[in-house]
Amino acid sequence: MRIHLLLALILVTGLSACRKPTPSGKPPAAGGGQTRSATENAAEEDDMSKADWQLLDDSIMTARLEPWPPKDGPAQLNIDITADDAEQKFAGTFAYRLAPTEKNSLPWKPLTAQREDEDGNVYFGAPVTLPKGTTFIQLRVRDKEDEEFTELTDWSVAVK
């Protein structure tokens, strides 16, 4: 699993320069999205309420900010990770921080699993307070077999 997280970090680092986090909202229309209007597609691309990262073991880590659009004040950060290719549930640790810049040294806040389901998905969450302006929602993940964390620091939201 350690190799998977290391390779996932390399993959995320390489893709972060060319890929926005996956927007939430309506799924593409049948036919590959060809029936969607340009306005709908542009609005969906601007929706940054959700970001996901696919790890090399095919588990998906998804982070959501609720409510959306973000407002100055209280919100909820929800993170879930699916089971891996071997149908093993995530047994590592998560931490997060809200930062004014992508590069920073603010302390990390640990997250504990709130629940898991019969499919091996594990769910984390924390109440957060969003300030006005740009906030980077940064995550740090470590599998139980790893010595070091993988940091995902490129997700940001603008609070008006």
Tens digits of residue pLDDT in 53-104: 876 567 899 999 999 999 999 999 999 999 988 888 988 888 999 999 999 9
Give the start-to-end residue ranges of the domains of the chain: 2-159
| CATH 3.90.1150.10 is the classification of domain 2-159 | no
User: Considering the entire predicted model, what is its pTM?
Assistant: 0.69
Tens digits of residue pLDDT in 147-158: 888 899 989 999
Q: Which strand (E) or helix (H) includes residue 28?
A: none
Quickly count: other Cβ atoms within 10 Å of residue 147's Cβ.
7
For the chain, the average pLDDT equals 75
Which residues, other chains included, contact 125 with Cβ-Cβ below 8 Å and sequence gap of 6+? Answer: 76, 77, 78, 79, 111, 114
How much is the average pLDDT of 33-57?
A: 56
